[in-house]
Amino acid sequence: MALTIFDLDNTLLDGDSDYLWGGFLARQGIVDGADYDRENERFYREYQDGTLDIQAFLRFSLRPLREQPRQRLEALREQFMEELIVPIMLNKAWQLIATHRAAGDTLLIITATNAFVTAPIAARFGIPHLIATEPEIINGQYTGEVAGIPAFREGKVIRLEQWLGEHQQTLADSTFYSDSHNDLPLLERVERPVAVDPDPQLDVIATARGWTRLSLRR
């Protein structure tokens, strides 16, 4: 059975769920608006530039999970899904997923964005498997720390290899769809790397290497 892997932000979504979640929290008064927005924007630019310190970003992005009751967070997440995520779930992404599902492929999303934000998105797309950065939970409460290896850059490869072992899968006949040069380590590991509406850095690499390029926006 073929394995089809999707990046999430700016691939299946017309936007970045992590960035949008931060802005949503600021508008809801959960975090300090001006300061949080400024830091959120800075980290997002560093991600695009390929200079992101993932541990620094995760300390920033996971802090609200530690500071708010889980029931409140889950209510906010439902509102966030309906107001900001559902509208950016790309129509062509739904079609692409449906094509691979009809072919009998195993479907997996792999994303650096934390699982609190992304698990409902994967569920809404009907994709049963998710590898995401895992927020640490102790005694039922988020600690603001990361559990295990963040699913970012080479971490995506490590986390995927763990998943493959657990699910008796291999990368034979595998496809990975991504927009980002940050995903180059995993794009180089699969049989069919696909650059989806690629960022400028990935666009150059995909063109030079003859990789498939695809737009879900046009």
Catalytic amino acids?
A: 7, 9
Q: Which residues contact 84 (CB under 8 A, 6 or more apart)?
A: 15, 20, 24
Give the integer Cα–Cα distance in Å for 16 and 87.
12
For residue 197, the tally of other CB atoms under 10 A from its CB is: 19
Burial 151-165 (b: 16+ CB within 10 A, else e): bbbebbbebbeebee
